[in-house]
Amino acid sequence: MSYQNPPTTPRKSATFDDYTLSEIRRAAQTGIYDIRGAGAKRKVPHFDDLLFLGASMSRYPLEGYREKCSTTVTLGTRFAKKPIELKIPITIAGMSFGSLSANAKEALGRGATIAGTSTTTGDGGMTPEERGQSEKLVYQYLPSRYGMNPDDLRKADAIEVVVGQGAKPGGGGMLLGQKISDRVAEMRTLPKGIDQRSACRHPDWTGPDDLEIKILELREITDWEKPIYIKVGGARPYYDVALAVKAGADVVVVDGMQGGTAATQEVFIEHVGQPTLACIRPAVQALQDLGMHRKVQLIVSGGIRNGADCAKALALGADAVSIGTAALVALGDNDPALESEYEKLNTVAGAYDDWHEGRDPAGITTQDPELAKRLDPVRAGRRLANYLKVMTLELQTIARAAGHNHVHNLEPEDLCALTIEAAAMARVPLAGTSWIPGQGGL
Amino acid sequence: MRSIDLTKTPLRELNASLHEQKDGTNETEWEVLNPRGQHAIAVGLDAPVTVTVRGSVGYYVAGMNKHATVIVEGSAGPGAAENMMSGKVIVRGDASQYAGATGRGGLLVIEGNASSRCGISMKGIDIVVKGNIGHMSAFMAQSGSLVVLGNAGDALGDSIYEARLYVRGSVKSLGADCIEKEMRPEHHEALAALLAKAGVTDVKTSEFKRYGSARKLYTFNIDNADAY
């Protein structure tokens, strides 16, 4: 009688999982760190870990479709002569021409304009297509200053001084040679086809005291008309926001680690910065401690996907949210209809993030004229507008259910948390308890 | 000549009056008295006017200048003529750090010394410094020319792209990917034109060395990792 040992089920390491192993092999083979687009993909505490309580005995709801639930937001009420009035508290985040095609930038402008909100330039200057199609355009003032000029500054409706972004707080931009077309090279005053590394730090100021003087200069150049935003990555939100207020911001944008980028080292995206959920309460606390909550507006971004996320961010104290990745998906990014083409790029729809390679089959994150032609800016703009309107209806649905006639009346008391982590970060009670971890008491 | 005394007139009023000037204005001569180190003097100009500032200024004098000539009869704080598009800015004294940062056109002349990061990220501006320049000057310089009659500090032209650097004196050290390059006839010609524009007549182009990009960091290579 033959005897065999009972087989042991092959067991893979939780530490050395398939992804980790593939990364070690890839690094060994290529000698380069992994560069990719989008934001953190790891699971982190997020808005899904919060729930709204809804109306009950102590609060009555508003009637959907009949009772008004306003969504307007005014940004830049502190110093600017011409604050920005938006119909909805959802803006389009900064994304560069260079990382995106001109058609994609135009589509973002069209969609935002139909929905009554603003869009934002990026690390590559302002294109006429974008300005022409964007009723409200925020002009980013970045460390690289590519394409920076006073005429575009004066054409903008607001100026956003970018100190950092959630995907890479402390990192500069990257645009690899494949995407430096003639037009992109000319706008950035760079040779065609080189790997371009944007500076991570502004060339002519360091620290909040300098920034205060820089903002004075920008205001003087634009005759104090434009709201000035300061955008920070989710690093030290309490102090960053307090210092942004001190430096003279009209609006502060806080971008958590799920916020996307066109191209950055994977190690940076996944290991630097805090989750969006962890950034909001410290940011709001800073504004409250300075007596500036609702006077300096707070925009939160990084992983906002639907009206519920927006409602939760507003309930925690934000004045508006901003979307980037979600807007690209609305335009057509990562669409399963293109699955066969994603397969050719060794990926699948939903996971495609090699935006820096410029081979996007959806024609969005590319400078290849043939691929870029695939995106019809009018149709894509309409898709974005539809999506923004759905988000707004979702936001209103929740606000009405909580009994609020303006979405800014949402408050932390409308929320509970599903996990201890989310309860601690959002500073709302764990569901079924009155316990807010870190706030003392049980 | 319009004369504005900054001890009596707020900065806002000065800049607003200057912004009202358009091409073809007949108010072409301005002087600013008692600047006393104020920041953002004569910024965002967009007309062919001449503004003479009688004294020293703070940060960002003549920032984003277009078409105008701005003369500082004193020293300038950080970021003089930052992101200048065209026109001319002359600093009679010394300039602090980041002079001419990200400038895209026009001519900046510093008659004294310039501090660190002179011409950082320059994108087409021409800068002539009659004295010395500090460390990390022309960092990531993309386009335009930086002419230095004196010496340059550490790490000149670090990560430089296509800007041209001409230094008459010593260079303490060169930054990553910056090398000395041959002065060919076209460089002597271009340098002579720059010196003439800046009113420098007593030096010869043969006294200068030229520096620029080795172009070795233009595409990523793991074996250059020490330089990144």
Residues of B in contact with A224 (CB under 8 A): 12
Question: CB distance from B83 to chain A under 8 Å?
Answer: yes
pLDDT in tens, B113-163: 999 999 999 999 999 999 999 999 999 999 999 999 999 999 999 999 999
- Predicted confidence at residue B228, as pLDDT, reads 62
Q: State which amino acid sits at residue B200.
A: V
pLDDT tens, residue by residue, A147-169: 999 999 999 999 999 999 999 99
Please tell me the least confidently modeled range out of A171-175, A217-221, B137-141, B214-218. A171-175
ipTM confidence: 0.96
Enumerate domains of chain A plus CATH numbers: 35-426 (3.20.20.70)
Is residue B224 assigned to a domain? no
The mean pLDDT of B75-102, rounded to a whole number, is 98
Residues in B touching A222 (Cβ below 8 Å): 44
As given in the structure block, the two tokens for residue B132 are 């010395």
How far is A270 from B50, CA to CA, in rounded Å? 52
Q: Model pTM?
A: 0.96
> B98 with B161, same domain?
no
What burial class does residue A69 get, using C-beta atoms within 10 Å of its C-beta: 0-12 exposed, 13-18 middle, 19+ buried? buried
What ranges make up the beta strands (E) of chain B?
2-5, 29-33, 50-54, 69-72, 88-91, 107-110, 123-129, 143-148, 164-167, 178-181, 209-213
Mean pLDDT of chain B: 96
Averaged pLDDT for residues A64-79: 93
Report chain B's terminal Cα–Cα distance, integer Å.
52
- With an 8 Å Cβ cutoff, are A203 and B121 in contact? yes
Gap from B216 CA to chain A (nearest CA, Å): 11
> Is residue B96 included in any domain, yes or no?
yes
Q: What is the mean pLDDT of chain A?
A: 95
- B222 to A32: CB separation less than 8 angstroms, yes or no: yes
Tell me: pLDDT of A442 over 70: no
Write the Ramachandran bin of A387: left for phi over 0, alpha for psi from -120 to 50, otherwise beta: alpha
Distances (CA, A) of A24 to A27, A234, A353, B69: 5, 28, 19, 58
Question: Do B98 and B159 have their domain in common?
Answer: no
Would you say residue A1 has pLDDT above 80?
A: no
Instruction: Answer yes or no: are the C-beta atoms of B160 and B212 closer than 8 Å.
Output: yes
Is residue A134 within 8 A of residue A118, CB to CB? The reply is yes
State residue B210's pLDDT score.
98
3-state secondary structure string across A290-356: CCCECCEEEEEECCCCCHHHHHHHHHCCCCEEEECHHHHHHHCCCCHHHHHHHHHCCCCCCCCCCHH
Residue that finishes a domain, picked among B76, B107, B138: B107
Q: Tally the domains of chain B.
A: 2
Question: So what's the pLDDT on residue A187?
Answer: 87
Same domain as B210, residue B146: yes
Span A359-387, pLDDT tens digits: 999 999 999 999 999 999 999 999 999 99
B95-105: burial string, b at 16+ Cβ within 10 Å, e else: bbbbbbbbbbb
Residue B192 lies in a domain: no
B74 contacts chain A (CB < 8 A): no
Where does a domain end: B74, B107, B140? B107
- Percent of chain A exceeding pLDDT 90 equals 85
Beta strand B178-181 with B209-213 is antiparallel
The average pLDDT across A253-261 equals 97
What is the DSSP-derived secondary structure letter of residue B184?
A: -
User: Which pLDDT score is estimated for A180?
Assistant: 84
Mean pLDDT of A176-183: 83
Of the listed ranges A241-245, B78-82, B204-208, B219-223, the least confidently predicted one is B219-223
B71 and B118 co-located in one domain: no
Residues B4-63 pLDDT 10s: 999 999 999 999 999 999 888 999 999 999 999 999 999 999 999 999 999 999 999 999
**In a shared domain, residues B136 and B42:** no
The count of other CB atoms within 10 Å of the CB of residue B204 is 11
Q: Is residue B49 part of a domain?
A: yes
Give the residue among B80, B168, B90 at the shortest CA–CA distance from A213: B80
Phi, psi values for residue A320, rounded to 5°: -160, 165
Question: Which of the residues B21, B120, B121 would you substitute to probe the A interface, choosing the one with the greatest number of A C-beta atoms within 10 Å?
Answer: B121
Q: At what angle do helices A102-115 and A377-401 cross, to 10 degrees?
A: 40
**Residues of chain A contacting B101 with CB distance shorter than 8 Å:** 203-204
Task: Please choose, from the candidates A428, A432, A434, A406, the residue with its C-alpha nearest in 3D space to the C-alpha of residue A415.
Answer: A428
**Would you give the DSSP letter of residue A433?**
S
Which of A342, A334, A344, A365 lies closest to A175, judged by CA?
Answer: A365
Structure confidence at residue B227 as a pLDDT band (50, 70, 90): low
CA distance B202 to chain A (A): 32
Give the model's confidence band at A194: pLDDT under 50 very low, under 70 low, under 90 confident, else very high: confident
Decide if B189 is inside a domain.
Answer: no
Tell me the C-alpha distance between A375 and A361, whole Å: 10
Asked if A213 is an interface residue toward chain B (Cβ–Cβ < 8 A), one would say yes
- Phi and psi at B180, nearest 5°, equal -75, 140
- Regarding whether B172 and B155 lie in a shared domain, the answer is yes
Among all residues of chain B, which has the CA nearest to that of A190?
A: B142
Query: For residue A2, what pLDDT is reported?
Result: 66
Average pLDDT for A277-303? 98
Residue B91 belongs to domain spanning? 1-107
Q: Are residues B36 and B67 in the same domain?
A: yes
Last residue of a domain, one of B107, B124, B153: B107
pLDDT in tens, A204-245: 999 999 999 999 999 999 999 999 999 999 999 999 999 999
Give the closest residue to A117 by CA, choosing from A142, A140, A100, A93.
A93
Contact B153, B116 (CB under 8 A): yes
Asked if residue B63 and residue B6 are part of one domain, the reply reads yes
**SS3 per-residue string spanning B52-109:** EEECCECCCCCCCCECCEEEECCCECCCCCCCCCCCEEEECCCECCCCCCCCCCCEEE
Whether B102 and B117 share a structural domain: no
B208 within some domain: yes
Residue B228 inside a domain? The answer is no
Which carries the bigger pLDDT value, residue A124 or residue A94? A94
The Cα-based distances of B31 to A228, B3, B63, B66 in angstroms read: 30, 5, 17, 18
Mutate which: A221, A223, A228, vs B, most B CBs within 10 A: A221
Cβ-Cβ contacts under 8 Å, B220 against chain A: 32, 176, 195
Is it the case that residue A333 has pLDDT exceeding 60? yes
- HSE of B114 in the Cβ direction (CA atoms, 13 Å)? 36
Angle between helices A276-289 and A237-246 (to 10 degrees): 40
Q: Chain B: give the shortest CA distance to residue A435, in Å.
A: 48
A123 interaction partners in chain B (CB closer than 8 Å): none
The residue among A387, A364, A391 whose CA lies nearest residue A107 is A364
Residue B104: its chain A contacts at CB < 8 A? 148-149, 189
At residue A108 the predicted structure's pLDDT band, cuts being 50, 70 and 90, is very high
Give the other-Cβ count within 10 Å of B138's Cβ. Answer: 35
Q: Are residues B24 and B65 in the same domain?
A: yes
Residue in B82, B104, B139 nearest the CB of A149: B104
Do the domain assignments include residue B225? no
Q: Are residues B94 and B135 in the same domain?
A: no
B12 part of contact set with chain A, CB < 8 Å: yes
Residue B98: closest CA among chain A residues belongs to which residue? A204
Q: Which two tokens stand for residue A21?
A: 């192993």
Same domain, B122 and B164: yes
